[in-house]
Structure 1
């Protein structure tokens, strides 16, 4: 493409497709950095990422082309929009081979946008060296791979799990994309009759749906090699049920966009040690530090906490990001003292097992996707009749959590739920939209004016319990 030089950013707005990996490796061959974008985002959210990253090129799938085209005129940096599978794409694909660009391990490879507590996405800069470190940790701490196996990409490429294609490519394993382009339990079981040595990455909610599917008990899972799960807590009951149904084929990982898929892991072997006295406690943990990674738990002043006591989880290693794109303040704050401050709270035991107590405290994890309350709250506050609001997550049997909004109207004003729904759909992705709006007179607050989200969660719990008990 004219005007594109090594170091430029190439965005991808697509669901899982063969072209996705072609674009990734083609971009790296040319010395470009890949900017993956969640295909479920709102066009305005796409626009923010494209502008912030300074992306010159955006590869897009047919189903997202109209949304990207609508915003393209307002994005000065964007010079090319290429439709995957189009004649233009095929022309690029069949062009003359070129020598790989001269890049080293310190060059930017993957610019992954991960929301912070402010709700504004920040671009985590991952270098080629970071990705190589992730591969090395996978082989040492997660699973072995041989060329006879495959990985089925049922989780989005645009998430950190998409990077798991890299260790499988390195070892010559097949990459399989389900016909649905996503996750469907029946399709998973069908794929297991066709492919051998199959690995999946799944969010815990996906594992739960898989084992609770009507066809689960009769399904032949002999070709299943490994399910790597992570991205949210796994309920102990579901984990035990999965082990009973599938056998010792589970590996848990804990990571962040800033240290992709590579902080701790709970091995297949540890999942199978049912006779160990603290077996259930270990299953409730996220395992021990992966290869090449150091983990600490500290207090507010970065002093190490005693074993078993809760503090913030800190991480160090070659897998940790270079920093946040064009955000030196956030980089300095998050990487202070040479350690990645995850924002997650947890505790370490004497054997190095890390148990998470809260993933960024107010973070909502729905279907494996992160939803930060602040960005939803900021949209709701655009409504002229909303005085204040607070967003929390409540348990959902299929997705893990769903979004609930508490809304306080201005004096004498009325707020219609359908208007709030419309407002959200105009500004944020559909999956971030609250599934319930609870209109209340005032938000509970402490003496400093901070909203007490714990009380709001208790309110939802008691309300749901009362309603279920009164049916």
Structure 2
């Protein structure tokens, strides 16, 4: 079944319900949204876009995002959502690798994106006159797709630094939506899903559950995460639901505490559910958030390879302070979601006993069939029918999973994934750099930030500013190191492998002293 049928259903059942707001301002009803999506899908078909064709969406959080996304599904094509924070050169790789036939781009990104589009790739700017003209096309019926047909390609960097296209099927996305209702939150028509985090990632995936129930969708006027704006929307619109990285939750708590009010803090009753994930939430920060925001928090743990659906920590567990292992539970990422199985295994793939640390693996209806045009990486990730996450953790006797470390050295900064190898390759291309190692450094605001240990080439003078400019010209700003430590040599083992554990320990000792 084509996941676009969720919107078709709600547009037919609830044509007069408000579907989309920009800030607090109502924009479209479900009937209007469905009509625009069907017309845009017809335009895509006129441009030669049909079932199975890839359509990239490189856009900030704008009011057209939701309709553009669903028009691609409606036409039977495959969405390729691209993080709008990525550098144009990184976008170029995704467009080439996916073979995108069309690029949908928001106006402010078009000047950088259009020149990197491969020959033959069409470009349509959201909201431009040509885009609005497309809304006058006769509607296209929803195109039939089988459950295992490809619905989306989500690009995630691998340990090699080369982005891999995670193949997400209609079955995967429908199962993810079912898990939302059973494990994360029920949805009421009065709810308002607000997109404060990028719609190209986890926040955008939660649109399906809210469309199915005919709930509201809110694009902040700022297009992003602004605590004061969210608090205003919570009071003016009410029943807000949002997905947020732990650093975003922390910033919201800071704002609520500092804003004050008649009772010492502004009202937060307008927040129905805040789903946090994408990085570690430290116990002290979580306790503070529960005290400040009230019973609205839920945690999820997932990956693009099993979108938003490995485990969930329900609000009932977060609020059960009387449980003897409450502190251990809130430090976990919860229990397996309903349509998946989760194990912790050893190096041979054998399940480990309760309490022992190993790799987290998962299987079920949400797990991808593989990576786009990458059978070797697919076989490695899906050994024995289980998705090997690359994360290590342990399960307790009640099935609560606690993550211990990320075996792939992933740095998560503000909810965004940064793979050190990718940054290292950029730095190694600089003529002044001989060797480099990038690790994550704990940061109070962002959770982690990348830092680089650099060995200069003979005769080259250390110049951190030059490396910073080099990185900014090659990749997204959020990926570049925040600090450069110039060293005479990198610590290595007898095989010549850089000992990042030693770098982390040295960095921690330096911070302590």
TM-score band by shorter chain is over 0.9
Which residue number corresponds to residue 507 of structure 2? 460
8 A contact 2:49–2:75 mirrored in 1:
no
- 1:392-426 Cα distance to aligned partner (Å, 9 max, x none): 11111111111100000123322311221121112
Question: Contact 2:81–2:154 (CA<8 Å) still a contact in 1?
Answer: yes
Q: Which runs of 4+ in 1 moved over 4 A?
A: none
Q: Is the 8 A contact 2:159 2:408 kept in 1?
A: no
For 1:24-423, list aligned pairs within 5 A.
24-72=69-117, 75-78=118-121, 80-213=122-255, 214-215=258-259, 217-423=264-470
CA distance in 2, matches of 1:101, 1:436: 50
Greater Cα offset, 210-219 or 320-329: 210-219
Aligned mates of 1:33, 1:340 — CA distance in 2: 23
User: 1:417 & 1:247 partners in 2: Cα distance?
Assistant: 44
Instruction: Please report the TM-score for the alignment, with normalisation by the length of structure 1.
Output: 0.96
CA deviation string 1:298-328 (max 9, x = no partner): 0111011111111000000100012100101
With normalisation by structure 2, the TM-score equals 0.89
Structure 2 segments unaligned to the other structure (5+ residues): 1-45
Q: CA deviation at 1:247?
A: 1.5
Contact map agreement 1:30 1:101 (CA 8 A) in 2: yes
User: Is the Cα contact below 8 Å between 1:51 and 1:77 reproduced in 2?
Assistant: no
C-alpha separation in 1, matches of 2:470 and 2:189: 49
Offset at residue 257 of structure 1 (A): 0.4
5+ residue gaps, structure 1: 467-471
Measured after TM superposition, the shift of residue 218 of structure 1 is: 1.7
> Contact (CA 8 Å) 1:202, 1:227: kept in 2 or not?
yes
How far apart in 1 are the matches of 2:265 and 2:294? 14
Aligned residue pairs: how many?
Answer: 463
Does the 8 Å CA contact 1:155/1:161 hold for their aligned counterparts? yes
- C-alpha displacement at 1:458, in angstroms? 1.9
Aligned to 2:42: none
Q: Output the CA distance in 2 between the equivalents of 1:140 and 1:176.
A: 23
